[in-house]
Amino acid sequence: MSELLDLAGEAGKLDAADGLAAVRERFVLDDVTYLDGNSLGALPAHVPDRVADVVRRQWGELRIRSWEESGWWTAPERIGDRIAPLVGAAAGQVVVGDSTSVNVFKALVAAVRMAAQDGGVGADGGVGADGPGRDEILVDATTFPTDGYIAESAARMTGCTLRPVAPAEVPSALGDRTAAVLLNHVDYRTGRLHDLPALTAAVHAAGAYAVWDLCHSAGALPVGLDEHGVDLAVGCTYKYLNGGPGSPAYLYVRRDLQARFDSPLPGWNSHAEPFGMRPGYEPASGALRGRVGTPDILSLLALEAALDVWDEDAVSVAAVRAKSLALTDFFLRCVGEYVPGGRVESVTPAAHAERGSQVALRCEDAGDVMKRLIERGVVGDFRAPDVLRFGFTPLYVGFADVERAARVLAQTLDAAG
């Protein structure tokens, strides 16, 4: 009992000293301990009124005029510039729209096409005058399934060979045939943070292009796209950016590559003269080349409202990262104190440099355990076959939440026998 009181008391002290504690009030939360923000972020409290204005006034009253008067037409790049500092990018390099899967497809095919422009293999797999060329795509072997599906399709479309490779093995797998490498910044199952700077440098040293999936890192930790010279990156906005279910994804195209970015989906929104209605396609300049069709305005503007949390509270990514590590450290400590030995095993790295903003625990009956946890008011999620995932969104998760989650986990496992 004393250990329980000690950890609960310590959680209270940590919450009292938390510089981000006040941000929690800007979200719609209840008595549930919500540790699934790595799947769907909580609702920022001001978003419903903003969306109501979009529906009732901008759509209901202004109607077609809102494309200009309400800034609908420029929303993809305007909101991209709001996301840019959260992933370490200067303005003019991020465009918002479509899903993560669609953006992975655009980025990966464009990367292979740029490799073809560099010499050697053509984008259809034909051997160029300089020899066998670059006809291989490396993909993270532990990737979220959709990235693998898209990579396989992109490889078939471009005539490339697809090679699944564990991120740690990428440097040794690279060669003069490698055109592009698709990697996840954070492993969605284990929460392992991969070394973006070192892996990007290795890809560049081999003459290939690096495409990064930031779904589980953007809004939770520093990314440094510009600093580390990442070529292309994609990410969703409904996790740590709290944009809402199905909110649009984003695409980053490094500034010096934008003139060469050849999208496999050249829609009218990315045309240099979208209202010219010409039969021939001429790409717009800049990151706008990443646009395709008419943007989903309702979701897009809900996301724009959600991003106000970062501006109005002057929240820094560095502060979020510091709290994330403190939360996950404390959770692992509480689990170690409360849960009987051998009942769960952390598959999330202990080293801060290798940890994202989630903790994954291997548990023999994980599916049933998570159901019981949710019934008891602790919401995480389950990944087959045996992983309990707990995501820690520092903007609204506190240390008392962490202590309660570990305590309820121990009680749940004890009741299960």
Annotated active-site residue in 213, 296, 386, 401: 213
Decide if 13 is catalytic.
no
Annotated active-site residue in 113, 389, 404, 407: 389
- Taking the CB of residue 316, how many other CB atoms lie within 10 A of it? 15
Decide if 144 is catalytic.
yes
Separation of alpha carbons 147 and 120, rounded Å: 26
Annotated active-site residue in 34, 144, 252, 396: 144
38 in Cβ contact with 184 (< 8 Å)? no
Annotated active-site residue in 26, 177, 239, 407: 239
Q: Are strands 209-213 and 178-184 parallel, antiparallel or unpaired?
A: parallel
Helix axis angle, 100-117 to 145-158, nearest 10°: 40
Decide if 238 is catalytic.
yes
Annotated active-site residue in 188, 238, 250, 390: 238
* Torsion (CA) 12, 14, 17, 20 in degrees, nearest 10: -100
Give the active site residues. Answer: 144, 213, 238-239, 389
